[in-house]
Amino acid sequence: MLSVSQRVSEARVVVDGEVIGEIGPGLLVLVCAERGDTEVQADRLLAKLLKLRIFSDEAGKMNRSVQDIGGGLLLVSQFTLAADTAGGNRPSFTNAAAPEEGLRLYNYLVRQARAAHPVVQTGRFAADMKVSLVNDGPVTIPLQMR
């Protein structure tokens, strides 16, 4: 599974003019299931996201996790993270999981996140989403779980 995690002071997802997911301080996580991914990769990703120490402590060091600060998780599916541009200027997305498998793994990740963390919001799989955020830092961390 691929992800890009952004430390935010706020983030939201809008679909058809309606806010469907919104958090204050926390992590906006763009997520992509790749071909061959299973629940194992989703579990590893979630464990890393919840423990990733990228929030400031009292001394200003990145030493606290989203769990430590009681922050939100906004999980947004984004198959374009699997883009391969090696063959030219038009990206290929053949490394992304098939849509039904991507949806299944995204839903699994969301269920697991909601069971483990009190503030979890989402986008809408395969929807035309408008994502806005205030990147805090900026701090942006790519993760790849194999």
For residue range 119-144, what is the model confidence (pLDDT) as tens digits? 999 999 999 999 999 999 999 999 99
Binning pLDDT at 50, 70 and 90, where does residue 7 land?
A: very high
**pTM beyond cutoff 0.75:** yes
Matching residue, tokens 């590893």? 44
**Annotated catalytic residue: which of 38, 80, 94, 140?**
80
Residue 67 catalytic?
no
Q: Nearest-5° angle of CA 49, CA 102, CA 55?
A: 15
CA–CA separation, 40 and 100 (whole Å): 18
Query: Which superfamily does 2-138 belong to?
Result: D-tyrosyl-tRNA(Tyr) deacylase (3.50.80.10)
**Where are the chain's structural domains?**
2-138
**Annotated catalytic residue: which of 41, 55, 79, 125?**
79
Average pLDDT along the chain: 97
Cβ–Cβ under 8 Å, residues 46 and 109: yes
User: Residue 54 has what pLDDT?
Assistant: 98
Residue 125 catalytic?
no
